[in-house]
A and B are shown apart, each in its own frame.
Chain A
Amino acid sequence: MDIELLSNPFYQRALATAGFIGFANGFFSGIVVLRRNALSVSALSHTMLPGIALGILVTGALTQWNAFLGALFAALLVGLGSLAVSRGKRIAQGTALGVLYTTGFAAGVAILPRLDTRQELEHWLFGDIIAVGNADMWIAFTIGSLTLLVTTLWMRPILLTLFEPNVAAAQGVHVRLFQYLIFGLLVLSLVASLQAVGCVLSVGLLVTPAATVSLLTDKTSTLFWGGGLVGCLGSLAAVLASSALGIAPGPAIVITLGLLFLAAYLFSPKYGLLATIAR
């Protein structure tokens, strides 16, 4: 690590963005883990690709805003669409999501050759945090701050809803409202991490940190703040290491978080594999 690199404004922005998104999405990953359907998040993340393609097709240009808004629109459309389709009770929500997101993804793949931006699209697929501009950084900061603020302000009803919706309703929580809120925040968090890790890998940031911490604690608040800490430090370390090792920072972030999870899975004093075998 040379000092020259750290004084580079691109690199500074990359570190600031990675650290902040790592914290915000690591914190929010607590909700994803407690909600117990990380796979649906994965489906939503794939939906962002056709969204970006659509944004380009409609506006004719690939800009940050087109990409963000396209991704947001597609994820909301598919997510809320799956909720709407499954309200008829005949189709389970997972089924509806599977149909809608693959259809959307296929449409994105079909549109891609018509767009003259395939090279740049790779940035959106796997992220390109070194190329973060000021505008990207502020978009990420704004969305991250919003999800953090809303989640901490309404932490109690959110936890009640996630733990047991029936008991939550008996305590006066408007359960459906909070389920939609959680869902909306989830989509926003996915979009916020586009620039850092891209659509395909964004799920890693939104699942792995709290999954790691859940192996180490029985306290709900620790799951969230610990998830934020793991996400932040893991992302910073990964960006620093990636330039030294010569690998792309996006994958480096997700690999680092995955390795931390593996370590917790093996060595957690209470829930680790080794502790379980020793018992």
Chain B
Amino acid sequence: MTASPPLLKPRAPCYSPSVTALALAGVRKRYADRPVLENVDLEIARGEVVALIGPNGAGKSTLLKAIAGLVPRSSGTIRWRGTAVRKWSREFAYLPQREEVDWSFPITVQGLVEMGRYPQTGWWRRFSKADHEAVDRAIESLALGDLRHRQIRELSGGQQQRAFLARALAQEAHVLLLDEPFTGLDRNASELLGDLLHRLAHEGRLVIASHHDLVSAPRLFDEVLLLATRPVAFGIVEEVLRENIIRTAFQSGTPPQAAAS
């Protein structure tokens, strides 16, 4: 899969990796006065694969959902490439945890990817040639060509992740928000998905994924946001995942290595 050609034209020269693309300022979320997220300030450039790590209840899923616009934030602003995002953005794609998806839904891989096109087509416009091409490109780019007519339950875990990624590409989203994408994948499938996320990032996207396994994080991610309701540390994986910093984040209870597969 690493050998497959990049999607569209190579995007690397089109953006500057040092410039902030996604900016969160003072993002908060409260459920009935209980703070779930507090003062999340964050600036991330494109081209990165970022892990969200933190203890249970640290707000990892909530942060992903707040960026995607699934849960309204109590306060704070989110900007993508300088433009404020109010409720949701076509530039953002959310990929749910695998167990949240009804895999028996009568839909093929192609049908799933076509759904990603709906923000472009709106509710009524017919698929144009450009729409069909975008769907085909997304499917080819993720090497799903042979599987496009399969019902989605007939895919392996890694293939299911790729099908949802293809849906995000068809949407032409540049921020991919993934909730625990590596859960339930064996080591080989994890590595393949990790490589794939790096390729997508290298093409000019930003990938943010919640993750619970500290051991595999350095292998799979470039940067880590350590979260415990509020950001504890943010930076390249090796620097953030040091014992004293982790202990701050995981003050109560043990680090999740023990629980990780």
Contact = CB atoms under 8 A, between A and B. Distances in A.
A169 B111 contact: no
A214 B93 CA distance: 29
Contact of B70 (A156, A162, A169): A169
Contacts of A166: 65, 68, 70, 94, 96, 100
Most buried by A among B100, B106, B108, B123: B106
B115 A163 contact: yes
Contact of B119 (A34, A171, A218): A171
A160 interface: yes
Interface string B29-56: 0000000000000000000000000000
A218 B107 CA distance: 5
Interface string B115-140: 10011010110000000000000000
B101 A164 contact: yes
A97 to B, nearest CB: 21
Given A163-B115, A166-B96, A218-B108, A171 B70 contact: no
A36 interface: yes
A49 to B, nearest CB: 32
A213 to B, nearest CB: 9
Contacts of B119: 171-172
Contacts of A169: 68-70, 88
A79 B161 CA distance: 36
Interface string B83-116: 0000110101111100011100111100100010
B100 A219 contact: no
B210 interface: no
B62 interface: no
Most central of A36, A153, A218 by chain B CB within 10 Å: A218
Contacts of B216: none
A164 B69 contact: no
Interface in A115-146: none
Interface residues of A, number: 24
Tell me whether chain A's interface is mostly helix, strand or loop, or mixed: helix
B151 interface: yes
Contacts of B159: none
A164 B102 contact: yes
Interface in A142-184: 153-154, 156-157, 159-160, 162-164, 166-167, 169-172
B106 A214 contact: yes
B163 to A, nearest CB: 12
Contacts of B70: 166, 169-170
A220 interface: yes
A171 B105 CA distance: 19
B190 interface: no
B108 A156 contact: no
Contacts of B94: 166-167, 170
B115 A160 contact: yes
B229 interface: no
A276 interface: no
Contact of A156 (B68, B100, B123): B123
Contacts of B92: 170
A156 B106 contact: no
B171 interface: yes
A44 interface: no
A170 B102 contact: no
Q: For A160, A170, A172, A223, which residue has the most chain B Cβ atoms within 10 angstroms?
A: A170
A192 B68 CA distance: 39
29 contacts: A34-B105, A34-B106, A153-B124, A154-B123, A156-B121, A157-B118, A157-B123, A160-B115, A160-B118, A162-B105, A164-B96, A166-B68, A166-B96, A166-B100, A169-B69, A169-B70, A169-B88, A170-B69, A171-B88, A171-B119, A171-B171, A172-B87, A172-B90, A218-B151, A219-B106, A219-B111, A220-B107, A220-B111, A223-B106
Counting from the closest, the 4 A-B pairs by CB-CB distance are: A170-B94, A218-B151, A170-B68, A169-B70
Interface of A: 34, 36, 153-154, 156-157, 159-160, 162-164, 166-167, 169-172, 214, 217-220, 222-223
Interface of B: 65, 68-70, 87-88, 90, 92-96, 100-102, 105-108, 111, 115, 118-119, 121, 123-124, 151, 171, 177
